[in-house]
Amino acid sequence: MRLIRRHPLLAALAALLFAVVGVVVVSGVVVWRAAHRDDASRVDHADAIVVLGAAQYDGEPSPVFAGRLDHAALLWEQDRADLVLTVGGKQPGDRTTEADAGRDYLIRHGVPADAVVALPVGSSTWESLEAAAAHLQAHDLRSVFLVSDPWHNARVKAMASDLGLDAYASATWRSGATTEEARGQGYLRETFAYLRYLIFGG
């Protein structure tokens, strides 16, 4: 400590390091707290449910995506919204999009076809939410339940709010990320993704 006090440059570097660590810790706390808050417990109804896309294999949702879709179907069955939006484009070589695969899955699992709209747009969360916001606002709809994995809650709510939506997160814990290690990696990635979004935007 004496060495730091005697050298202003070292003191400045130490202060910067503590500040950076502090910001990362705060970001992590925000992500963790948002992950453990289900807005559907306090909000009965929204204009729509937006399911964030994930990997699909030739039209079949991956376990992570299927977990999100199952949760969206549950919200619809509970009459939490009259409309479900599936979003997400496709990777090079794919024959279908995440949005279309998600819509087909929901229809197969009992959600009426006229209640599900696929928006096959976006290679990132921001692009997909931007498409969802444009569609909803064009139909005078504003409030949404966002369905993703829990550690995404803070970031997707921030994005949707910045796009002019009244955003509520209702995540699924029943996805492919079932181990503590996988969930820990999810929290770690999202801590920095959330912080990056706050600094640089979409």
Structure-token pair, residue 147: 């369905």
Spell out the per-residue pLDDT of the chain, length 202, in tens: 554 555 666 666 666 676 667 788 889 999 999 999 999 999 999 999 999 999 999 999 999 999 999 999 999 999 999 999 999 998 887 889 999 999 999 999 999 999 999 999 888 999 999 999 999 999 999 999 999 999 999 999 999 999 999 999 999 987 656 677 878 888 999 999 999 999 998 7
pTM for the structure as a whole: 0.90
What domains, with CATH codes, occur in the chain?
A: 35-200 (3.40.50.620)
- Centre a 10 Å sphere on the Cβ of residue 75 and count the other Cβ atoms it contains: 20
Structure tokens at 41: 């417990």
Q: What confidence tens digit (pLDDT) does each residue in 61-119 have?
A: 999 999 999 999 999 999 999 999 999 998 887 889 999 999 999 999 999 999 999 99
How many whole angstroms separate alpha carbon 113 and alpha carbon 69? 14
β-bridge mates for residue 85, sequence order:
50, 117
- Give, for 49, the enclosing helix (H) or strand (E): strand 48-51
Strand partners, 117: 85
* DSSP letter string, 82-149: S-EEEE----TT-SS-HHHHHHHHHHHTT--GGGEEEE---SSHHHHHHHHHHHHHHTT--EEEEES-
**Helical axes 8-35 vs 180-200, angle rounded to 10°:** 120
Contact 60, 101 (CB under 8 A): yes
